[in-house]
Amino acid sequence: MAVGAVIARIITQYSAKGSKAAQKDIAKLGKDFDKFAKRSALAFAAAGAAVGAFTVKVGTDAVRAAIEDQKSQVLLANSLRNTVGATDATIASTEQYITLLQKQVSVTDSELRPALARLTAATGSIETGQKLLATALNVSAQSGADLASSSDAIIKATRGQYKGLALLVPQLSNSTIKSKNFAKALGEVDKATAGAASKRAATLEYRLKGLNIAYGEILETLGYALLPVIEKFADVITTKVLPQLEAWIAANKDKLAASLDTILTKLPALIIQVFDLFNYIQRNLGTIQVLGALLVSTFAAAKVYAGVIALSGAINILTAAFGRQAAAATAAGTATAFATGGASALAAAAGLAAFTTASLIAYKQLTKNNKVLDKTKEVTTAIAKDNNKVVVTTGKVLGNTTKLTAEQQKQLASQQALNKLKKMGVVPTSETDPIQLEAVKLNLLKEQNLAQKGMYDQLLANYEATNRMNIAAQRYADILMVIADNKISDSEVNLLAQKWGITNYEVTKYLASVTGNVNLGSGWDAAGLAAAEGWKTALGDLNKYLEAVGKGSFVAPKNVPTTSTSPTVVSDSLAEAKAQIEASTVRLNQINQSLLEKIANTNKISDTPTLSGSSNTFIPGYSDYRASERASSPTVNITVNGSVSSSNDLTETVRNGILAGQTSGRSITARVLDL
């Protein structure tokens, strides 16, 4: 083809090479998808685990803080309600007070709330409790004790027990302690510790602590926002996720541990691959949809294929059934079985009716099967059409794929889709090559034709068996008429022979086999009949032989008497038979003698062999024989005087003998031919 020539394709055909390449590509694509699926699972597991860990970290802190804060709020509110009958508004304002106080003194609300609750309970007033809390904070700051200890000391002081408070505030005078005047004592304590909490809050330590408290407040805010979600999440996790996760981890813990390193190293590449995959799907969605339709179409054809296979199996089963039925019909069609099955005419008629019914059923089955076969033909035609559609669709799909990159072409189909279709109960053929499918279809048609031919053969056998049965039935009816007078005469035998188209002797044998009333071996003339039959058979064979050797045939006696019914007929028949037998004996003796001579001359070589064209005394030498053997077409004719044996046999015998002698190395002379 010239360089630079313009080529315009008009007819495009599918290439088997391309089909195989496509199969390889699809198989490789399936493997790629498998690999991708495995690696994706690992990657997503890693990403999920990382996000989960971060979420758990943040969420745990926030939710934990919120839970703790909520807990302390609930306890404070409950205490206030129980002790002072606080309303919700009072509780809310108290919470605001706690929040402000927390920021001022850098003491957590979880410490402030219990202290306030206990102080309020001890004094019976929220307002008093708040004042005592301020004092407790100063005492705590002054003494270095925690807020709870300071609050306890003040509460005990309200009950007249000043020892603890005196330990925390040494400035408390003994006179005040002894007077047990709480107001006075409180005044001294306030005086001694005033401003201590504020000053402590201004130190670096408590400023940092204040930041921590502020962060805690943020976490609590986040936690409160997350709490409803967390509650639902916790419910789902508890009831649905955790059980499955536990089971999955129990099953895969070893693999998880082993794949951790792989996850960390391959995660970036996988993210790129995921992007490429989604990008590819987005750009080729139409092609993928067409491919899906193609796969479904192929599998639909595979269903039809399976149906045709099943139908072929059914046809084979039916053919076997016909065979058995034909065999049964053949057995039933024999005269003996007929008579045995129905010794009476009624039983015989019943047997015939049964066979006829069976034949009718067989005929109906075959007719029905022919309809099924017609339907099969339609189905296979539909397969062919579908196949063409698939091929056209394939062409379109593959035409579209030319626009894709080489890498994308490898991702045309997914083995996972095939597996899904398998799960749907569609059993595909392993062949995807349209040409191979066409070959499969042709083979199916061929198989069906074979099966159909087998069925017709069996039907023909049935038909023949039916004919035999009809003949047997007719003969049986004839026999019933003949034996109505309890005897069978010669004339009746002759009539039956003419009607049935067989010899008298065959009629006699048939009567014997059917009725069992004619005994060829026990009558007075049994020996004669047997001898006549034997002579007849021998004579037939002899005539065949004589004809073969070119001699005239011996005229065989005809209509050998079978049974006799009157003495005169018997005597005449005996005389005639005697004459025939004597003549036959003389003739047979002559023939026998001749035959023995021929056999003797045939089985061995004459003592004085002669070669054709030569006198009896001419014996060729070895060199002459070899010369004649080397001739282009040597001819050796051997004639035996008075013999009718084949010269070819003798020629072959001599030739083999000469060759055997040559092989042995012995010299060959004319006298050594008797090997």
Partner 1 sequence: MADEVIVLTGIKETIDALKQFDKAAARKFNKVINDELTRAERSADNLVVQFTNPVYGTPMRGWRKTSAARPRTRGGAGWPAWDVSTIQAGITKSRSQGKVRGDYTTSAGALINKSAAGAIFEVAGRTPGSARKNQFIRYLSNSFGKASRLIWAVVDKDKDEIQKRVAAALEDAKKTLQTNLNGRS
Residues near partner 1 (CB under 8 A) are: 1-2, 4-15, 17-19, 21-22, 384, 388, 391-392, 394-396, 398-399, 401-402, 409, 434-435, 438, 442, 445-446, 449-450, 453
Question: Least separation, in Å, of the C-beta of 6 and partner 1?
Answer: 4
Least distance between partner 1 and beta carbon 327 (Å): 25
Minimum separation from the CB atom of position 622 to partner 1 (A): 56
CB atoms within 10 A of CB 562: 23
Output 4 or 501, the one with its CB closest to partner 1: 4
The tally of CA atoms less than 13 A away on the side-chain side of residue 519 is 4
Structure tokens at 176: 């005040």
Q: Which is nearer to partner 1, 9 or 558 (CB)?
A: 9
Q: Which is nearer to partner 1, 193 or 287 (CB)?
A: 287
Q: Which is nearer to partner 1, 80 or 383 (CB)?
A: 383
* CB of residue 26 to partner 1, shortest distance in Å: 12
Phi-psi region of 195 (alpha: psi -120 to 50; beta: other; left: phi over 0): left
| Strand partners of residue 639 | 610
- Residues, the chain, total? 675
The CA-based angle 638-640-644, given to 5 degrees, is 105
Tell the smallest beta-carbon distance from residue 22 to partner 1 (Å): 6
Q: How far is the CB of 367 from partner 1 (least distance, A)?
A: 21
CA gap 625, 582 in Å, rounded? 53
Q: How far is the CB of 376 from partner 1 (least distance, A)?
A: 13
Name which of 78 and 289 has its Cβ closer to partner 1: 289
User: Looking at beta carbons only, is 10 or 346 nearer to partner 1?
Assistant: 10
Question: What is the H or E stretch that residue 639 is in?
Answer: strand 638-639
Q: Which is nearer to partner 1, 384 or 483 (CB)?
A: 384
Spatial distance between the Cα atoms of 108 and 112, rounded to a whole number of angstroms:
6
Least Å from the CB of residue 29 to partner 1: 15
**What's the closest the beta carbon of residue 388 comes to partner 1, in angstroms?**
8
Give how far the C-alpha of residue 347 lies from the chain's centroid of Cα atoms, to the nearest Å.
Answer: 52
Q: By CB neighbour count within 10 A (0-12 exposed, 13-18 middle, 19+ buried), where does 552 fall?
A: exposed
- Distance CA(490)–CA(572), nearest Å, equals 14
Nearer to partner 1, 304 or 577 (CB): 304
Nearer to partner 1, 1 or 272 (CB): 1
User: Quick one: 434 or 528, whose CB is closer to partner 1?
Assistant: 434
What is the rounded CA–CA span in Å between residue 478 and residue 463?
22
What is the spatial distance between Cα 421 and Cα 303, in angstroms, rounded to a whole number? 12
Is 10 or 204 the residue whose CB approaches partner 1 more closely?
A: 10
Q: How far is the CB of 393 from partner 1 (least distance, A)?
A: 9
Give least dist CB 273 to partner 1, A. 24
Distance (Å, rounded) from C-alpha 138 to C-alpha 172?
14
Residue among 167 and 442 whose Cβ is closer to partner 1:
442
375 or 385: CB nearest partner 1 = 385
> How far apart are the C-alpha atoms of 585 and 331, rounded to whole Å?
42
8 Å CB contact between 529 and 570? no
Q: In whole angstroms, how close is the CB of 27 to partner 1 at the nearest point?
A: 15
Minimum Å gap between C-beta 2 and partner 1 is 4
Output the CA–CA distances (angstroms, integers) from residue 567 to 95, 564, 571, in the order listed: 151, 8, 6
Closest CA to 337 of 514, 509, 519, 463: 514
State the CB neighbour count (10 A cutoff) for residue 425.
8
Q: Which of 560, 506, 502 is nearest to 531 (CA)?
A: 560
Tell me the closest approach of the beta carbon of residue 7 to partner 1, in angstroms.
5
Which runs of consecutive H residues, i.e. helices, occur in 284-343?
A: 285-333, 335-341
* Residue 611, H or E segment: strand 610-611
- CB closer to partner 1, 327 vs 391: 391
Query: What's the CA gap between 491 and 504, in Å, rounded?
Result: 10
Letter for the amino acid at 347?
Answer: A
537-to-531, 542, 556 alpha-carbon distances in Å: 10, 9, 10
Residue with tokens 């002579």: 535
| Closest CB to partner 1 among residues 31, 453 | 453
Closest CA to 138 of 194, 84, 74, 183: 194
Measure the CA–CA gap between 91 and 75, rounded to whole angstroms: 11
- Three-state DSSP class for residue 569: helix
The gap from C-alpha 490 to its chain's centroid, in whole angstroms, comes to 72
Residue 32 Cβ vs partner 1, minimum distance, rounded to whole Å: 19
669 DSSP assignment: -
454 vs 620, beta carbon nearer partner 1: 454
Residue 155 CB neighbour total at 10 angstroms = 20
Q: Kindly state the DSSP code that residue 554 receives in the 8-state scheme.
A: P
Q: Give the 3-state DSSP-derived string for 356-422, with helices as H, strands as E and coil as C.
A: HHHHHHHHHHHHHHHHHHHHHHHHHHHHHHHHHHHHHHHHHHHHHHCCCCHHHHCCCCCHHHHHHHH
CB 229 within 8 A of CB 55: no
Q: How far is the CB of 439 from partner 1 (least distance, A)?
A: 8
